[in-house]
Structure 1
Amino acid sequence: MKWTTILRVLLGALIPVCALLSPGGLAQAQTVKHGDVEVGQRGLAGDRASSKFQEYRQLPTGLFLNRLHLDLGDGNDNRYLHLRATRVAQEDQRVLLSLGLYGRARLDLEWDQTPHLLSATGRTLFAQSPSGVFAMPLQTRQDLNKLVTTDTNPGQGGVQPDLNALGNLINGTARGVDLSTQRKTGKASLRYTPAQEWDVRVQYSIEDRSGAKPLGANFGFNLAELPEPVDYRTQEFKISSEYADRRWDARFDYSASAFNNSVDAMIWDNPFVTANAVGSPSRGRLGIFPDNTAQNVAFSGAVNLPQATRLATTVSYGWRRQNAPFLPFTINSAVAALPTYPALPATSLNGAVNTLLTNVSLTSRPARNLSLNGRYRYYDYDNRTPSLLFTKYIGYDNQLSGDARRSLPIAYTRQNAGLDLGYQFVKGASLKLGYGWENWDRTHRDARKVDEKAFQTALNLTPADWLALRTSYTRSARKTHEYDAEEHVAHETFPQGESGLGQHPDLRKFDMASRDRDRVEGMAQVTPVDALSFSASVGYANDDFVESAYGLRGDRNGNVSFDVSYSPTERFTLFAGYTWEDYKYQQKSRQRTPASGSNPANDKPANDWLSDMGDGVNTVIAGLSGALIPRKIDLDVDYSVSKSKGTIQTRTPGKPDIVTTAQNYPDTHSRLHQAAATLRYHLSASVVPRFEYRYERYSSDYFYRTNLSPFMGAVDASTTSAAFLGATQPDYRAHIVSFVIGYTF
Structure 2
Amino acid sequence: SSSRPTAAGSAIGISSSVPRRGVFNDWKLDLFYTEIPHEFTSNYRLLWNGEGSDDLNLGGLTPGGTVNAATTQANIQQTLTQTEESDLGLVRKQGGFNVEKYLTNEWRVFGGYNLEKREGERPFGAVFGGGGGGGNVEIPESIDYETQNFLAGLRFDDGLNNLNLQAEASLFRNRTGTMTFENPLFITTNTIIGVPPTTFTSGRYDLYPDNDYYNLLGEYGRNFPDFYKARLTAVASLAWMKQDDDLIAPTTFSLAGGNINGVSTENVWNTTRANSKQSADAEINTQLFSLGLVMSPTDKLDVEGKIRYYETENKTEFFACNPLTGQWGRLLNDGSGGSFVVPNPTPGNNPSGTLQTAYNQAGCNVAAVQALGLVPSAGNVKIRNTPYDYKQMNYVLSGDYDLGRASSLNLTLEREEFDRAYRERDSTWENSFELGYTNRGFSFGTIRVSAEYAERRGDDYSVEADPNSTSAIFGPAPVANGTNVASWIHAPSGLRKIRPCGSGSNHPERPPERDRHRVDGRRPRSSVPEQ
Q: TM-score, normalised by structure 2?
A: 0.76
When residues 372 and 399 of structure 1 are mapped into structure 2, their CA distance, relative to the original with a 3 A threshold, is: same
When residues 102 and 335 of structure 1 are mapped into structure 2, their CA distance, relative to the original with a 3 A threshold, is: farther
Task: Give 1:442 deviation, angstroms.
Answer: 1.2
Deviations 1:232-273 (A, max 9, x none): 111111111111112222221110110000111121111034
How many Å separate the matches in 1 of 2:407 and 2:18?
A: 45
* One-letter amino acid matched to 1:246: G
When residues 453 and 98 of structure 1 are mapped into structure 2, their CA distance, relative to the original with a 3 A threshold, is: same
When residues 329 and 142 of structure 1 are mapped into structure 2, their CA distance, relative to the original with a 3 A threshold, is: closer
* One-letter amino acid matched to 1:265: T
- Residue equivalent to 2:233: 312
Select the residue among 478, 483, 502 that pairs with 2:490.
502
Select the residue among 318, 323, 332 that pairs with 1:395.
332
- Residue equivalent to 2:527: 563
How many Å separate the matches in 1 of 2:188 and 2:179?
A: 19
Map 1:542-621 onto structure 2 (within 5 A).
563-564=527-528
Any conservation in 1 of the 2:236–2:288 contact (CA below 8 Å)?
yes
- Residue equivalent to 1:347: 278
Map 1:229-628 onto structure 2 (within 5 A).
229-273=142-186, 278=195, 280=197, 281-305=200-224, 306-334=227-255, 338=259, 339=264, 341=268, 343-390=274-321, 391-397=328-334, 398-403=336-341, 405-464=383-442, 467-488=445-466, 491-492=469-470, 494-496=472-474, 500-509=488-497, 514-524=513-523, 535-536=524-525, 563-564=527-528
Task: Give 1:146 deviation, angstroms.
Answer: 3.5
Any conservation in 1 of the 2:51–2:142 contact (CA below 8 Å)?
no
When residues 144 and 320 of structure 1 are mapped into structure 2, their CA distance, relative to the original with a 3 A threshold, is: closer
Aligned partner of residue 493 in structure 2, secondary structure? coil
Any conservation in 1 of the 2:36–2:91 contact (CA below 8 Å)?
yes
* One-letter amino acid matched to 2:331: I
How many Å separate the matches in 1 of 2:441 and 2:61?
A: 78
How many Å separate the matches in 1 of 2:63 and 2:119?
A: 33
How many Å separate the matches in 1 of 2:36 and 2:515?
A: 41
- Residue equivalent to 2:97: 188
Aligned partner of residue 210 in structure 1, secondary structure? strand
How many Å separate the matches in 2 of 1:279 and 1:265?
A: 25
Any conservation in 1 of the 2:195–2:257 contact (CA below 8 Å)?
no
Structure 2: which 5+ runs fail to align?
322-327, 342-381, 478-486, 502-512
Select the residue among 26, 41, 46 that pairs with 1:104.
26
Map 1:15-164 onto structure 2 (within 5 A).
78-87=2-11, 91-128=13-50, 130-137=52-59, 140-141=61-62, 145-146=66-67, 148-149=69-70
When residues 332 and 504 of structure 1 are mapped into structure 2, their CA distance, relative to the original with a 3 A threshold, is: farther
When residues 262 and 489 of structure 1 are mapped into structure 2, their CA distance, relative to the original with a 3 A threshold, is: farther
Task: Give 1:274 deviation, angstroms.
Answer: 9.8
Task: Give 1:462 deviation, angstroms.
Answer: 2.0
Task: Give 1:199 deviation, angstroms.
Answer: 2.5
Any conservation in 2 of the 1:218–1:396 contact (CA below 8 Å)?
yes
Deviations 1:536-576 (A, max 9, x none): 3xxxxxxxxxxxxxxxxxxxxxxxxx63389x9xxxxxxxx
Any conservation in 2 of the 1:204–1:235 contact (CA below 8 Å)?
yes
* One-letter amino acid matched to 2:166: D
- Residue equivalent to 2:354: none
What is the identity percentage for the equivalent residue pairs of Structure 1 and Structure 2? 24
Deviations 1:656-704 (A, max 9, x none): xxxxxxxxxxxxxxxxxxxxxxxxxxxxxxxxxxxxxxxxxxxxxxxxx
Task: Give 1:181 deviation, angstroms.
Answer: 2.0
Aligned partner of residue 61 in structure 2, secondary structure? helix
Deviations 1:452-472 (A, max 9, x none): 122212211122466422233
Aligned partner of residue 178 in structure 1, secondary structure? strand
Of stretches 351-360 and 456-465 in structure 1, the one that deviates more from structure 2 is 456-465
When residues 365 and 506 of structure 1 are mapped into structure 2, their CA distance, relative to the original with a 3 A threshold, is: farther
When residues 170 and 483 of structure 1 are mapped into structure 2, their CA distance, relative to the original with a 3 A threshold, is: farther
Any conservation in 1 of the 2:108–2:156 contact (CA below 8 Å)?
yes
Any conservation in 1 of the 2:69–2:187 contact (CA below 8 Å)?
no
When residues 304 and 91 of structure 1 are mapped into structure 2, their CA distance, relative to the original with a 3 A threshold, is: closer
Aligned partner of residue 297 in structure 2, secondary structure? strand
Q: Per residue, is there more strand in 1 or in 2?
A: 1
Any conservation in 2 of the 1:485–1:506 contact (CA below 8 Å)?
no
How many Å separate the matches in 1 of 2:19 and 2:518?
A: 45
Task: Give 1:148 deviation, angstroms.
Answer: 2.4
Aligned partner of residue 466 in structure 2, secondary structure? helix
How many Å separate the matches in 2 of 1:324 and 1:503?
A: 33
Any conservation in 1 of the 2:64–2:184 contact (CA below 8 Å)?
no
Aligned partner of residue 276 in structure 2, secondary structure? coil
Structure 1: which 5+ runs fail to align?
1-76, 151-160, 525-534, 537-561, 569-745
How many Å separate the matches in 1 of 2:466 and 2:188?
A: 38
How many Å separate the matches in 2 of 1:517 and 1:107?
A: 51
When residues 400 and 501 of structure 1 are mapped into structure 2, their CA distance, relative to the original with a 3 A threshold, is: same
Across the aligned residues of Structure 1 and Structure 2, the Cα RMSD in angstroms comes to 2.9
Task: Give 1:382 deviation, angstroms.
Answer: 1.0
Task: Give 1:192 deviation, angstroms.
Answer: 1.2
How many Å separate the matches in 1 of 2:75 and 2:499?
A: 45
How many Å separate the matches in 2 of 1:460 and 1:144?
A: 70
How many Å separate the matches in 2 of 1:494 and 1:177?
A: 49
Deviations 1:136-184 (A, max 9, x none): 14x622795246255xxxxxxxxxx9x7x44641423444343112211
Aligned partner of residue 253 in structure 1, secondary structure? strand
When residues 473 and 127 of structure 1 are mapped into structure 2, their CA distance, relative to the original with a 3 A threshold, is: farther
* One-letter amino acid matched to 1:401: S
How many Å separate the matches in 2 of 1:517 and 1:212?
A: 46
Task: Give 1:378 deviation, angstroms.
Answer: 0.6
Map 1:731-742 onto structure 2 (within 5 A).
none
How many Å separate the matches in 2 of 1:364 and 1:401?
A: 61
When residues 490 and 565 of structure 1 are mapped into structure 2, their CA distance, relative to the original with a 3 A threshold, is: farther
Query: Is 2:119 the partner of 1:210?
Result: yes
Deviations 1:81-104 (A, max 9, x none): 1111233xx843210101111121
* One-letter amino acid matched to 1:388: F
How many Å separate the matches in 1 of 2:420 and 2:107?
A: 41
When residues 316 and 492 of structure 1 are mapped into structure 2, their CA distance, relative to the original with a 3 A threshold, is: farther
Aligned partner of residue 114 in structure 2, secondary structure? strand
Map 1:686-701 onto structure 2 (within 5 A).
none
How many Å separate the matches in 1 of 2:298 and 2:257?
A: 76
